[in-house]
Structure 1
């Protein structure tokens, strides 16, 4: 099966492509479950650009600081 992304502007029906890489025929009958769709919300956070950052002490609150 092929994967893809459906964006929020799509208004057309969604289809499924199946590939049989075997030498044996595979029959798909009406009602067979052959695909899975995962619906996921993609969040776009609000970004605030700062003119300047306040000073910090090196190692304070940085990466892995909770393990020190």
Structure 2
């Protein structure tokens, strides 16, 4: 994942174009980062300046079991916001 550096956004209004970059696990090409200046002042990015940070996240290859039915739970089919209700 490519994430923004918080200081650029808070101090200068400079953010990543897509906010978070998710890279496919099998991607082999060059990485590029688009940057937007949402601030009121011009901002010059110098060569070698840190504008983003990369975080390596393990990829889980999950296997699913197809079932015909399953036991009901207290939560039931409640959607968003139902998991914390009592």
Matched, 1:15 2:15: no
Q: Return the TM-score normalized by structure 2.
A: 0.49
Q: Report the aligned-residue RMSD.
A: 2.5
Q: Return the TM-score normalized by structure 1.
A: 0.60
| Larger mean Cα displacement after TM superposition, 24-33 or 8-17 | 8-17
How far apart are the structure 2 equivalents of 1:36 and 1:12? 17
Question: Greater CA radius of gyration, 1 or 2?
Answer: 1
Q: Which residue is 1:65 aligned to?
A: none
Q: Please, which runs of 5 or more residues in structure 2 have no aligned partner?
A: 1-15, 68-86
What is the count of residue pairs matched by the alignment?
Answer: 55
